[in-house]
């Protein structure tokens, strides 16, 4: 091999390229480790020997890259070794052989991805120069590379670095004409929201993707399952209720293993520990991440009801420990507001398995954020829940009374509730009488004039 290379170096410049290229098939026809050794010698000669020249070097490397890309080396391990060795040989002169290096990096990333070396494949793609002066790379090509890097990083749950490349891809998504790339970007978008604990946003995006016909049916089912999981983990409140309603009405969710907890959350039923434990088994590691409690909340939680110190069975927990913990506690608090008119701090603490102070802190935060309607009486250590009067009014008007005049606002909540119940009862009685009259079962007396 060395003798041939020395002989070719004496040729005129225009004959050097075809001469060196003719060696490539000859080397690949050999067997064993000699292929890697001879290819390394050839690449080192055309890249680093001054007499060869840049033009010839590019010709030879382009041909080698093309042949490797066509799968001339069947042994995957040997092909990977050749590509890595070629890249390391060219690395000192990467500026001169940028196009060839980029092609080799794509090949190496494909090989690593087949071996499920996700992070290594992503790092190889990160080394590709997309803003080069030698070759103009379009926005659509850059977008494909960025989306692929994000997808590979998320496979190894490296969400922090993945978000960096996702932000770069988001700047170029307007130029996407390829439907497949656009769908991959949307999936990355949903997964980034999931890893960032923006569960409401992730649930909506997963659910949207589950309707896309181009995606495989099994993948769509997986996305629907992810949408339900994220909706369950989302903070309790009106926004989550809308997402839960959308998923509950989707007939496909009835076949999912998480349908039981979805239906209970949508119907505002209190979740039991056994159901939560069963659901916890289906969660991914990032969805089981521990959450910290602020020093102010910890202090407020510690200053709970003094009566709880006398109860040996009282909980000592000062707040939720995981994302799932928080989601379930907030849901149970919201569900209890539909059952009780009011509840003591101790009673709520027993329901949520928290100290009375921690239960009050959670209720206070939800009221402040508009996710729970109610008020806190710290003197009597009570939480008062407000009912949805708009729904009650709508039910009263539907009974046949027409528009009912609003009662005078006395400021007394019990008086308002009592008046509402009387109005509803009168509306229901009138509706029953009207129905019986239509059936001819009751005749109303006619007043004589």
Cα–Cα separations (whole angstroms), residue 2 to 5, 58, 92, 253, 343: 5, 20, 22, 68, 89
Banded model confidence at residue 169, pLDDT cuts 50, 70, 90? very high
Q: Report yes or no: 183 and 151 within 8 Å, Cβ to Cβ.
A: no
Rounded-to-10 torsion of CA 352, 357, 362, 367: 120
Confidence at residue 449, expressed as pLDDT on a 0 to 100 scale: 39
DSSP state of 251: G
Per-residue pLDDT reduced to its tens digit, 174-185: 877 888 889 999
242-265 b/e (C-beta count within 10 Å ≥ 16 → b): ebbebbbebeebeebebbebbebb
Beta-strand pair 374-377/382-385? antiparallel
Per-residue pLDDT reduced to its tens digit, 244-282: 999 999 999 999 999 999 999 898 888 888 888 989 888
Lowest mean pLDDT among 227-236, 316-325, 401-410: 401-410
Lowest mean pLDDT among 62-76, 113-127, 404-418: 404-418
Q: Report yes or no: 20 and 46 within 8 Å, Cβ to Cβ.
A: yes
Lowest mean pLDDT among 134-138, 222-226, 361-365, 437-441: 134-138
Confidence at residue 76, expressed as pLDDT on a 0 to 100 scale: 87
pLDDT, the chain, mean: 82
DSSP state of 305: -
* Between residues 348 and 289, the one the model is more confident about: 348
Q: How far is CA 432 from the centre of its chain?
A: 51
Banded model confidence at residue 187, pLDDT cuts 50, 70, 90? very high
**Overall average pLDDT of the 195-216 stretch:** 92
Confidence at residue 191, expressed as pLDDT on a 0 to 100 scale: 93
Confidence at residue 223, expressed as pLDDT on a 0 to 100 scale: 94
Q: Using a cut of 0.85, tell me whether the model's pTM lies above it.
A: no
**Overall average pLDDT of the 43-56 stretch:** 82
Nearest alpha-carbon partner for 57 in 101, 16, 6, 4: 16
Confidence at residue 405, expressed as pLDDT on a 0 to 100 scale: 44
Banded model confidence at residue 295, pLDDT cuts 50, 70, 90? low
> Is 90 exceeded by the pLDDT of residue 205?
yes
Banded model confidence at residue 124, pLDDT cuts 50, 70, 90? very high
- Measured CA to CA, the distance from residue 128 to residue 142 in angstroms comes to 10
* Between residues 237 and 131, the one the model is more confident about: 237
> Is 70 exceeded by the pLDDT of residue 440?
yes
> Is 70 exceeded by the pLDDT of residue 394?
no
């Amino acid at each position: 091999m060395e003798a041939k290379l020395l002989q070719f170096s004496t040729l005129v410049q225009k004959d050097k390229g075809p001469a060196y290229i003719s060696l490539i098939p000859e080397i690949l026809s050999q067997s064993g480790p000699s292929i890697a050794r001879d290819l390394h010698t050839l690449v080192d000669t055309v890249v680093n020997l001054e007499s060869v020249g840049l033009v010839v070097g590019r010709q030879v490397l382009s041909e080698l890259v093309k042949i490797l890309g066509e799968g001339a080396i069947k042994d995957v391990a040997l092909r990977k070794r050749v590509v890595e060795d070629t890249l390391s040989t060219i690395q000192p002169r990467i500026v001169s052989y940028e196009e060839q290096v980029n092609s080799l990096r794509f090949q190496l990333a494909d090989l690593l991805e087949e071996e499920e070396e996700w992070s290594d494949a992503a790092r190889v793609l990160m080394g590709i120069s997309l803003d080069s002066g030698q070759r103009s790379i379009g926005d659509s090509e850059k977008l494909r590379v960025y989306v692929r890097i994000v997808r590979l990083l998320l496979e190894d749950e490296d969400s922090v670095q993945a978000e960096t490349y996702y932000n770069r891809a988001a700047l170029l998504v307007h130029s996407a004409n390829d439907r497949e790339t656009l769908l991959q970007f949307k999936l990355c978008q949903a997964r980034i929201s999931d890893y960032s604990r923006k569960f409401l946003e992730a649930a909506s995006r997963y659910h949207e993707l589950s309707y896309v016909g181009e995606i495989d049916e099994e993948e769509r089912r997986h996305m629907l399952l992810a949408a339900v999981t994220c909706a369950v983990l989302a903070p309790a409140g009106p926004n989550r209720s809308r997402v839960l309603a959308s998923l509950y009405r989707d007939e496909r969710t009835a076949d999912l293993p998480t349908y039981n907890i979805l239906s209970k959350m949508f119907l505002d039923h209190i979740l039991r520990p056994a159901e939560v434990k069963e659901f916890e088994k289906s969660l991914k590691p990032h969805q089981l991440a521990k959450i910290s409690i602020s020093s102010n909340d910890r202090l407020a939680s510690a200053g709970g009801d003094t009566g709880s110190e006398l109860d040996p069975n009282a909980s000592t927990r000062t707040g939720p420990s995981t994302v799932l913990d928080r989601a379930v506690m907030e849901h149970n608090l919201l569900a209890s507001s539909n059952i009780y008119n009011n509840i003591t701090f101790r009673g709520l603490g027993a329901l949520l398995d928290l100290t009375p102070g921690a239960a009050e802190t959670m209720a206070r935060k939800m009221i402040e954020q508009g996710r729970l309607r109610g008020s806190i009486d710290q003197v009597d250590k009570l939480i008062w829940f407000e009912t949805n009067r708009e729904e009650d009014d709508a039910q009263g008007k539907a009974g046949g009374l027409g528009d009912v005049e609003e009662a005078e606002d006395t400021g007394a909540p019990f008086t308002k509730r009592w008046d509402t119940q009387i109005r509803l009862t009168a509306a229901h009685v009138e509706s029953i009488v009207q129905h019986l009259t239509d059936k001819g079962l009751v005749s109303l007396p006619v007043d004589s004039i």
